[in-house]
């Protein structure tokens, strides 16, 4: 029996609707909506799309947004000056810089320059440390969204064997922390893990964020496991599309002919569908929740700032 699809769209809509209602109440009390400042450097098409999606979501829920689109030639010092300005502004509640940054800009310095109270991406060392200690913190949006999806889908996390493939600060490491806090037994794998399949096959819950097209195949998955695919990769070769999607390839080939590419995760979709019990789709999966949780984090930042005022 093919794997059940874990659809994230309805949950993402529910989260945004909840945020919208709370913002309406906030405006009644404070007369000012939350504000999110999004900073993008350079002309990377993917970054432009991601920032555009975030700004669109802001409009949907009633968050005022600012889009600071800077040229690729922007220096670290120039970007630090902009962030210092946004930190000092009382009308800005959340700040995000779209990653990855162009070569030549010191990513670590930029992340650490953002006021932790406005760090709605959850990347500042203060928030990372608080998360590790189990204290209140802004949690990176993708891992936070995955937890929401698992809870909403009645997945039993406590006692489950969970495996996270990928160790980035954006997904892998915070994901492991959140699962540990919910009493899962967690293993983190990465590009240097020996005999990866033997490790991932032990997992009841497999979360994949490795950044490699279709890397996790049927041999990596425990029969009946829940598989969360965080990857988002473009495939432009028709033969590769046929290999990845099998019986579903014709639909994706139509997309390929119209757009010049189709999106595939880090999990081999055809193989995973035959082994997994439940599986997130790409697109239409985790990415929708990432944006929804950014809205939730921005609301949280605004609420905390107004409470302290």
DSSP bridge partners of 77: none
E strand or H helix at 279: strand 278-279
Closest CA to 115 of 144, 90, 132, 134: 90
Query: How many CA atoms, within 13 angstroms, populate the side-chain half-sphere of residue 110?
Result: 24
Instruction: Give catalytic status of residue 121 as yes or no.
Output: yes
User: pLDDT, tens digit, for every residue of 16-27?
Assistant: 999 999 999 999
For residue 222, which phi and psi values (nearest 5 degrees)? -70, 130
Would you say 134 and 104 are in contact if contact means Cβ atoms under 8 Å apart? no
Using the 8-state DSSP alphabet, how is residue 230 labeled?
A: -
- Is the dihedral angle over the CA atoms 65, 87, 289, 168 positive or is it negative? positive
DSSP state of 44: -
Q: What is the mean pLDDT of residues 184-207?
A: 97
Active-site option among 115, 119, 121, 204: 121
Q: Mean pLDDT over all residues of the chain?
A: 95
State the CATH class of domain 141-288.
alpha beta
pLDDT tens-digit readout, 131-140: 999 999 999 9
The two counts, helices (H) then strands (E), for the chain are: 12, 11
Check pLDDT > 70 for residue 309: no
Alpha carbon distance 274, 264 (integer Å) = 17
Active-site hit among 16, 22, 93, 98: 98
Asked if 140 contacts 171 with a C-beta cutoff of 8 angstroms, the reply is yes
- Whether 200 and 206 have beta carbons less than 8 Å apart is answered as yes
Domain limits, the chain: 32-115, 141-288
At 97 the three-state DSSP class reads strand
Do β-strands 233-235 and 262-264 pair in parallel, antiparallel, or remain unpaired?
antiparallel
Q: Annotated catalytic residue: which of 16, 22, 54, 118? A: 54
In this prediction, what percent of the chain has a pLDDT beyond 70? 100
Question: Quick check: is 308 catalytic?
Answer: no
**Catalytic status, residue 98:** yes
Fold of 32-115: Rossmann fold (3.40.50)
Tokens 């669109």 correspond to what residue?
56
Higher model confidence: residue 77 or residue 44?
Answer: 77
What mean pLDDT do residues 21-45 have?
A: 92
CA 243 to CA 245: how far, in whole Å? Answer: 6
Rounded-to-integer distance, Cα 5 and Cα 130, Å: 33
Q: Is pLDDT at 105 greater than 90 in this prediction?
A: yes
What integer is the mean pLDDT of 219-228?
98
**CA proximity to 301, closest of 178, 132, 117:** 117
């Amino acid at each position: 029996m093919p794997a059940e699809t874990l659809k994230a769209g309805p949950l993402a809509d529910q989260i945004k609707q909840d945020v919208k209602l709370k913002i309406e109440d906030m405006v009644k009390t404070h007369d000012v909506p939350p504000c999110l400042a999004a900073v993008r450097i350079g002309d990377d098409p993917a970054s432009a799309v991601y920032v555009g999606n975030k700004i669109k979501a802001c409009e949907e829920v009633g968050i005022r947004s600012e889009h600071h689109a800077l040229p690729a030639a922007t220096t670290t010092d120039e970007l630090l000056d902009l962030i210092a300005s946004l930190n000092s502004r009382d009308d800005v509640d959340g700040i995000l810089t779209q990653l990855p940054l162009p070569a030549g800009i010191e990513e670590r310095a930029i992340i650490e320059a953002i006021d932790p109270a406005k760090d709605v991406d959850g990347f500042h060392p203060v928030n990372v440390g608080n998360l590790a200690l189990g204290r209140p913190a802004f949690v990176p949006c993708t891992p936070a969204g995955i937890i929401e999806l698992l809870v909403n889908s009645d997945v039993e996390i406590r006692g489950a064997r969970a495996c996270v493939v990928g160790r980035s600060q954006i997904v892998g490491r915070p994901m492991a922390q959140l699962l540990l806090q919910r009493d899962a037994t967690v293993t983190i794998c990465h590009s240097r893990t020996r005999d990866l399949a033997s490790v991932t096959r032990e997992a009841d819950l497999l979360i994949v964020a490795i950044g490699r097209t279709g890397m996790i195949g049927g041999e990596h998955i425990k029969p009946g496991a829940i598989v969360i695919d965080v990857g988002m990769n473009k495939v432009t070769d028709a033969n590769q599309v046929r290999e990845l999607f099998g019986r579903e390839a014709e639909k994706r080939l139509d997309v390929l002919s119209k757009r010049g590419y189709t999106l595939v995760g880090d999990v081999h979709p055809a193989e995973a569908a035959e082994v997994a019990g439940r599986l997130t789709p790409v697109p239409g999966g985790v990415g929708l929740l990432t944006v929804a949780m950014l809205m939730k984090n921005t609301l949280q930042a605004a609420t905390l700032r107004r409470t302290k005022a």
